[in-house]
Structures are given as structure tokens and as C-alpha cells.
Amino acid sequence: MTTVTPSSPLPALDSPRIEKLRLREIPTRHSAYGMILRAEQDAVKRQAGEDIICARVAGYLLLEFHAQSRFFGDRACASIVMQLTSLPQDASGDENSVIFEVGRLLRDKFIRLCAFDRFS
């Protein structure tokens, strides 16, 4: 059985895109994004497709809300960071489980709102 890993990995912390966003200037966001990257790497290593997608949803939304804060304000990005850093870890103490759960929540409750059929 062939496992397909979703493409479009998140940009690395030292990538030009992250440098351009100046994410390092807001330590909580920089730290949360680092957590997301570690979770994504773990999911890729395990070839866990759904976890990969959930980590990338959380990562790309964090980056986009940060980049577009003049339109969205700081609340959207701060909310994602708060969810990533304040939710309790599972019984094994795995911070990645928090990342996957937040990404799953964002995918199911936020992104799927945009996936509707055209109005008649």
C-alpha cells in the first residue's frame, strides 16, 4: 500500500518568507510556529496524512493571520497562538497532539465554512 504525503510543507523558521514576516519580533508567535513545525516533522516521519494536514492548517493560518494583521487585526493570530500554547497536552505529555487538535478544529470549524455549494 502506497502512502501519499500531502505536499506544500510549511516554510522553515530560517526561510526568507518567515524572515520577511518578521515573526521573530513576536516571541510567542515565533515559538508557536516552531511548535507547529516540530509537529509537522513528526507527522511526516510517521506518514500520518491527517496529522500533516492539521499541522499545516494551523501553520498556514497562523502565518496568514500574522501577515495580514492590518486587515484581520492581531486577535485572529493571537487566538491561534493562545490555543496552541494553553491547551493541556494529552496524558503522554505530547505537545504535538495539541497542534493536531487545534489544526483539526480550525479545519473543521473554520475552513469548512468556505466549502459550500453555490447558492441556487
Say how far apart CA 43 and CA 49 lie, in whole Å: 7
Please, what is the Cα angle at 62 between 43 and 90, to 5 degrees?
A: 45
Report the mean per-residue pLDDT for the chain. 85
Q: What DSSP character marks residue 74?
A: S
Give the orientation angle of helix 75-86 with respect to helix 27-46, to 10 degrees.
60
Q: What DSSP character marks residue 109?
A: I
More confident residue, 36 or 85: 36
User: 48: exposed, middle or buried (C-beta count within 10 Å: 0-12, 13-18, 19+)?
Assistant: middle
Q: What is the pLDDT of residues 60-116, one digit of tens each?
A: 999 999 999 888 889 999 999 999 987 665 556 688 999 999 999 998 887 766 666
Say how far apart CA 39 and CA 97 lie, in whole Å: 8
Kindly list the domain boundaries of the chain, sorted by start residue: 16-113
pLDDT-derived band of residue 2, with 50, 70 and 90 as boundaries? very low
